[in-house]
């Protein structure tokens, strides 16, 4: 069923503690995906939800999960799987917000790149909710440091990306171990063949919730493309920042080496820039992300996978330093700006003919208008006629 409207949180039969936590966030009405998912999940029904990023999926499953937790039972009652450590950390933070007024509800976040000993100590506190990346949860299960066979709710967040990243065998092994579950939630921006396979095997009579991009939840983003010489991408970014004065920017690259180079060249030009990618230690990645979230970093440079789970809703501009290989990655990248009903800007830098062909294909397949621009004589951006 397709959902286009939200409802009042106080119409959903939620507990006073959850309503208090929601009110503390300044929320009165749900988003469409929350309106579609909270009632069936509260009734222990399986859910498969297709919704764009940035539409409030964490609250859509997080509220029913917290409502169902028995604080007196110290077994694992819910498992939430996420494709990346960044998204897992973000989900954990949001669940803590929802459970603020429910004492005795404990959660733990398990992901690679953090010392496993610290996670084992956290597991000794007997959390009822486990948020994890599939690989690290499998590690803990092999070590017998966590038992999830009594979990009643299982959620796969960003299921399409998780299965695309090669976690399908880990995910199915984990689902097979959690045979006592009462409901399974699949949350995804796209319903891929692999997501459908999981739904077919592991769900029964699932409530189907679809939220289309529309004028209400589709971000308002001005999209531009600019031809630059190969070594002049950092110069172009610097000039655009000087011209616009934007101070909250994300720059995406296709490779780890490219993120390092662009960051170094921006720093050499006096721009406050830092980067993250898969080879950077987790502690440093978290420090950089925290700086950006708090508005203490002007340009945040990243690869696509490393940036998953960075949920900042007031990015002024997104730069594509490399044209992404996948159309969906372009949509995810530019979707970092233009949130919270603000207009956003995205600029793709084109340095060779294959990149030009790719951006033409992306514009056609994603039905986006990407306007060619150049620097005018006065340094301002002007449309190429």
- pLDDT the model gives residue 6: 87
Beta carbons of 174 and 184 less than 8 angstroms apart: no
Return the SS3 of 47. strand
Beta carbons of 275 and 302 less than 8 angstroms apart: yes
In this structure, the number of other CB atoms found within 10 A of the CB of residue 89 comes to 20
Beta carbons of 121 and 45 less than 8 angstroms apart: no
- pLDDT the model gives residue 332: 79
Does the global pTM surpass 0.95? no
Beta carbons within 8 Å of 142's beta carbon, 6+ residues apart: none
- pLDDT the model gives residue 168: 86
Beta carbons of 53 and 34 less than 8 angstroms apart: no
Give the model confidence (pLDDT) of 151-202 as tens digits: 999 999 989 888 877 788 889 999 999 989 999 999 988 888 888 999 999 9
Beta carbons within 8 Å of 213's beta carbon, 6+ residues apart: 52
Instruction: Write down the residue that tokens 């170094």 correspond to.
Output: 264
Return the SS3 of 8. strand
- pLDDT the model gives residue 208: 94
Cα separation of 91 and 150, whole Å?
A: 21
Which of 317-335 are b and which e, b meaning 16 or more Cβ less than 10 Å from the residue's Cβ?
bbbbbbbbeebbbbbbbbb
Cα 311-188-225 angle, rounded to 5 deg = 60
- pLDDT the model gives residue 52: 78
Cα separation of 38 and 56, whole Å?
A: 12
Given a cut of 50, the residues of the chain with pLDDT beneath it are 215
Beta carbons of 306 and 285 less than 8 angstroms apart: yes
- pLDDT the model gives residue 202: 94
In this structure, the number of other CB atoms found within 10 A of the CB of residue 298 comes to 18
Please report, for residues 44, 170, 185, the alpha-carbon distance to residue 110 in angstroms, rounded to integers and kept in the order given. Answer: 25, 15, 19
The side-by-side arrangement of strands in the sheet containing 129-132 is 107-110, 129-132, 78-81, 153-157, 183-188, 47-50, 207-210
Instruction: Write down the residue that tokens 């917000």 correspond to.
Output: 97
**How many residues in the chain?**
385
Give the model confidence (pLDDT) of 272-292 as tens digits: 999 988 788 878 888 888 888
């Amino acid at each position: 069923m397709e959902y286009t409207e939200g409802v009042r949180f106080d119409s959903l039969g939620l507990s006073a503690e959850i309503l208090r936590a929601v009110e503390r966030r300044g929320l009165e009405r749900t988003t469409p995906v929350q309106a579609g998912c909270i009632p069936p999940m509260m009734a222990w029904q399986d859910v498969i939800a297709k919704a764009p990023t940035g539409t409030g999926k964490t609250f859509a499953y997080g509220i029913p999960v917290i409502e169902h937790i028995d604080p007196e039972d110290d077994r694992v009652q819910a498992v939430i799987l996420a494709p990346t450590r960044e998204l897992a950390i973000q989900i954990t933070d949001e669940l803590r917000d929802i459970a603020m007024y429910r004492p005795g509800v404990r959660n733990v976040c398990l992901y690679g790149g953090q010392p496993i000993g610290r996670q084992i100590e956290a597991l000794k506190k007997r959390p009822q909710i486990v948020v994890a990346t599939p690989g690290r949860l499998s590690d803990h299960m092999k070590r017998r440091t966590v038992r999830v066979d009594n979990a009643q709710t299982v959620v796969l967040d960003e299921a399409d990306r998780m299965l695309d990243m090669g976690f399908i065998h880990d995910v199915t092994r984990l689902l097979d171990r959690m045979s006592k579950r009462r409901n399974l939630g699949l949350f995804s921006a796209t319903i891929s063949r692999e997501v459908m396979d999981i739904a077919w095997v592991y769900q029964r009579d699932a409530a189907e919730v679809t939220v289309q991009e529309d004028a209400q939840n589709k971000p308002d983003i001005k999209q531009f493309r600019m031809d630059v010489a190969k070594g002049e991408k950092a110069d172009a970014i610097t000039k655009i920042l000087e011209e616009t004065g934007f101070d909250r920017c994300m720059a995406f690259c296709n490779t780890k080496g490219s993120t390092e180079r662009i960051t170094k060249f921006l720093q050499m030009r006096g721009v406050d820039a830092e980067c993250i990618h898969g080879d950077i230690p987790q502690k440093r990645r978290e420090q950089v992300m925290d700086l950006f979230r708090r508005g203490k970093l002007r340009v945040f440079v990243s690869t696509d996978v490393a940036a998953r789970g960075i949920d900042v809703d007031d990015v002024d501009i997104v730069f594509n330093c490399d044209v992404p290989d996948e159309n969906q990655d372009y949509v995810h990248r530019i979707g970092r700006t233009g949130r919270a009903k603000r207009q956003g800007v995205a600029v793709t830098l084109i340095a060779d003919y294959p990149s030009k062909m790719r951006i033409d294909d992306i514009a056609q397949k994603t039905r986006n208008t990407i306007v060619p621009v150049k620097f005018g004589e006065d340094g301002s951006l002007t449309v190429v006629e």
